[in-house]
Amino acid sequence: MDEIRLQDVVQMRKTHPCGSDQWTVIRIGADIKIKCLGCGRIVMMERADFVRRRKKVLTQGPVPEAETLRDISQRQ
């Protein structure tokens, strides 16, 4: 299973009713929230459904920076 990152642009297997098949990932967790690049519609689905319905990753989002406990304590 590929890594899912925020701001990934993915192509889904089925086209959206607006005609676009490209979506951007806007939330990651047990569920994945994606936004249609054609009309802006936001859809939330389970991670397993997302992986099954995704065709390919067109553009991968930035690598998240690791945050350490020291970084968190310095902010306070």
Q: Where are the domains of the chain?
A: 9-75
Q: What is the pLDDT of residue 61?
A: 86
Q: What mean pLDDT is reported for the chain? A: 87
Residue 64 has pLDDT above 90, yes or no: no
Tens of pLDDT, residues 6-57: 999 999 999 999 999 999 999 999 999 999 999 999 999 999 999 999 999 9
Beta-carbon contacts of 31 under 8 Å, excluding residues fewer than 6 positions away, are 44, 45, 46, 47
* Per-residue three-class SS string for the chain: CCCCCCCCEEEECCCCCCCCCEEEEEECCCEEEEEECCCCCEEEEEHHHHHHHEEEEEECCCCCCCCCHHHHHHHC
Tens of pLDDT, residues 7-16: 999 999 999 9
